[in-house]
Amino acid sequence: MDAAKDKSLYINTIGCQMNVYDSSRIEDVMKPLGYTMTDSVEKADMIVVNTCSVREKAEQKAFSFLGRLASLKKKKPDLIICVGGCVAQQEGKKIVRRVPHIDIIFGTHAVNRLPQLVRHVTETESRIVDVELTETIDEFTPDSGYSEAGTATGFVTIMRGCDNFCTYCVVPYVRGREISRHPDRIIEEIENRVKSGIREVTLLGQNVNSYGKNQGLCTFPELLARVNKIDGLQRIRFTTSHPKDFSNELIDSYKDLDKLCNHIHLPVQSGSNNILAKMNRKYTREQYLDRLDRLRKVCPDIAITSDMIAGFPGETEADFQETLSLIKEVEFDGLFAFAYSDRPNAKATGFSDKVDDQVKMARLQELLELQKYYTRKKNERFVNKTVSVLIEGLSKKQDFYPDSDGKEEWTGRIPENKVVNFNYIDTSGISSKMKPFAGKTINVVIEKALSHSLRGKPAVSGSPVIQEGENNHAA
């Protein structure tokens, strides 16, 4: 392959934040072969669909997109079409029968091998399938360069796989067993990404709480303490966190680490002990609530989000009511809720006591309506308060205020992970078009709470409009 000739790469990322991170790695490993990103499918020389199989809808979305590429492949026979991620790992060669115009199928452990796969396909004009699971993490060179100018936030995977085997979940089968990256490599990567412009990092893993377990590495709270010392980094987040491994040491991190954001995503999945046992979650409702109680004593203003599954096999109306009562008791800031669906290899697929689809959807809607009330309630507590917003860029919707005089609407997040949209009013003598704001923090007075976001205006008095850094925790 002629590495000197520029080629265009299009990536369609479906699913979780780990897929977003993997897509950034795909972009990085393909650069030496002359590939640069494009936002046009029609102009691409190579298309990668980075798939998710955690839920049926995400898998259907991937195959729908792949099907639409058939006509483009006929027009451009040299176009390389690749399928990666969890569906690729799960289905392997079977994808070829369903989508015959595919060139490369690569699994969750094969991202670093993608350049070799592309060379093979180009030189032999044949398709290839690589879904081998490895027992080690192949590190890529962290100083190989990141295209993050103007990017405020970034993801860094700290571990791969899962050992929990929840009965509804395919992750252990498509991501493999748990293995952690060496902390030195993680710190090195974050330092390089901070140099390239990011100010907030989210540490990723299927269960970050078990980082380093059985590998002789540091614990997750110890890793957080090291990340907290990185110069230039303003904020730290992490996901996902399993309740059964949510330790007192991790809770204390919210008191001790000034860069750790006042937000935790702690998936509970159900409020019924009966269903939690069937899910193999290894904790009870009472244990979950105890952990939140201890966390709120250390960090009273923490925002708490979670995951819920409606209609898990065997879920009775009484079980579902316990889930609703848990939502009322905790008052989550937000929920990701889904109707249960069978997934290949997951143990619950074989359970006989399935819930009727109409019942599942009705329960899901009732759950979401209840949560909508609490999300708005939690958002309203910020009205008339001044918050510190890490600016991520221009708002995608560009909904201008009526009195904005055409000035851009910007967007960012507060430590509690709530989105704030604001119209920049020039009070500092610096035009918004002259100064790149992404990665800066700004004090914003919240004027309105919406269902999924906050709106405000930059603070004029009492604090500087633009700041270089911040402290997320009260002294």
Question: The domain that contains 241 carries what CATH number?
Answer: 3.30.750.210
pLDDT in tens, 354-385: 999 999 999 999 999 999 999 999 999 999 99
Could you tell me if 15 and 85 are in contact, meaning their C-beta atoms sit under 8 angstroms apart? yes
Q: Are residues 343 and 274 in the same domain?
A: yes
In DSSP terms, 236 is beta-bridged to 201, 260
pLDDT in tens, 95-125: 999 999 999 999 999 999 999 999 999 999 8
Q: Are residues 102 and 157 in the same domain?
A: no
Q: Are residues 257 and 356 in the same domain?
A: no
Query: What is the overall mean pLDDT for the chain?
Result: 89
Residue 136 placed within a domain: no
Q: Are residues 235 and 333 in the same domain?
A: no
Averaged pLDDT for residues 381-396:
92
Q: Establish how many alpha carbons lie within 13 A of residue 279's alpha carbon, considering only the half-sphere containing its beta carbon.
A: 24
* Cβ neighbours for 116, distance < 8 A, ≥ 6 positions apart: none
* Cβ neighbours for 201, distance < 8 A, ≥ 6 positions apart: 153, 154, 155, 156, 190, 193, 194, 227, 233, 235, 236, 237
Averaged pLDDT for residues 13-33:
92
Residue 140 placed within a domain: no
- CATH number of the domain that 103 lies in? 3.40.50.12160
Q: Are residues 19 and 34 in the same domain?
A: yes
pLDDT band at 136 (very low <50, low <70, confident <90, very high): confident
Among 348, 381, 414, the domain boundary falls at 381
Q: Residue 407: what pLDDT?
A: 61
pLDDT band at 473 (very low <50, low <70, confident <90, very high): low
Q: Are residues 332 and 432 in the same domain?
A: no
Residue 455 placed within a domain: yes
Residue 183 placed within a domain: yes
Q: Residue 468: what pLDDT?
A: 52
- CATH number of the domain that 407 lies in? 2.40.50
Residue 139 placed within a domain: no
Q: Are residues 86 and 171 in the same domain?
A: no
Q: Are residues 96 and 177 in the same domain?
A: no
Task: Identify the weakest region by mean pLDDT among 144-158, 203-217, 287-301, 456-470.
Answer: 456-470
Q: Tell me the residue range of the domain where 106 lies.
A: 7-130
Confidence check: pLDDT of 292 > 60: yes
pLDDT band at 438 (very low <50, low <70, confident <90, very high): confident
Q: Are residues 368 and 313 in the same domain?
A: yes
Query: Looking at the 3D structure of the chain, how many domains does it have?
Result: 4
Burial class of residue 273, CB neighbours in 10 A (0-12, 13-18, 19+): middle
Averaged pLDDT for residues 2-28:
86
Q: Residue 127: what pLDDT?
A: 93
Residue 109: count of CB within 10 angstroms of its CB: 22
Residue 473 placed within a domain: no
Largest CA distance in the chain: 67
Q: Are residues 347 and 403 in the same domain?
A: no
The token pair at 29 is 């490993």
Task: Identify the weakest region by mean pLDDT among 57-61, 64-68, 237-241.
Answer: 57-61
d(CA 415, CA 333): 13
Q: Are residues 150 and 184 in the same domain?
A: yes
Averaged pLDDT for residues 404-415:
77
Among 100, 130, 160, the domain boundary falls at 130
Confidence check: pLDDT of 465 > 70: no
Task: Identify the weakest region by mean pLDDT among 72-81, 294-303, 323-332, 425-434.
Answer: 425-434
Considering the chain, what percentage of its residues have pLDDT values greater than 90? 77
For residue 240, cis peptide bond before it (omega within 30 degrees of 0): yes
Residue 272 placed within a domain: yes
Residue 36 placed within a domain: yes
What pTM, to 2 d.p., does this model score? Answer: 0.86
Three-state helix/strand/coil letters over the chain: CCCCCCEEEEEEECCCHHHHHHHHHHHHHHHHHCEEECCCCCCCCEEEEEECCCCHHHHHHHHHHHHHCHHHHHHCCCCEEEEEHHHHHHHCCHHHHHCCCCCEEECCCCHHHHHHHHHHHHHHCCCEEECCCCCCCCCCCCCCCCCCCCCCEEEEECEECCCCCCCCCCHHHHCCCCEECCHHHHHHHHHHHHHHCCCEEEEECCCHHHCCCCCCCCCHHHHHHHHHCCCCCCEEEEECCCHHHCCHHHHHHHHHCCCECCEEECCCECCCHHHHHHCCCCCCHHHHHHHHHHHHHHCCCCEEEEEEEECCCCCCHHHHHHHHHHHHHHCCCEEEEEECCCCCCCHHHHCCCCCCHHHHHHHHHHHHHHHHHHHHHHHHCCCCCEEEEEEEEECCCCCCCCCCCCCCEEEEECCCCCEEEEECCCCCCCCCCCCCCCCCEEEEEEEEECCCCEEEEECCCCCCCEECCCCCCCC
Q: Residue 295: what pLDDT?
A: 97
Among 241, 261, 281, the domain boundary falls at 261
Which is more confident, 433 or 165? Answer: 165
Tell me phi and psi for residue 50, to 5 degrees.
Answer: -95, 105
Averaged pLDDT for residues 183-191:
96
- CATH number of the domain that 282 lies in? 3.30.750.200
Considering the chain, what percentage of its residues have pLDDT values greater than 70? 88
Confidence check: pLDDT of 397 > 80: no
pLDDT in tens, 295-354: 999 999 999 999 999 999 999 999 999 999 999 999 999 999 999 999 999 999 999 999
Q: Residue 55: what pLDDT?
A: 82
Q: Residue 472: what pLDDT?
A: 54
Q: Are residues 342 and 361 in the same domain?
A: yes
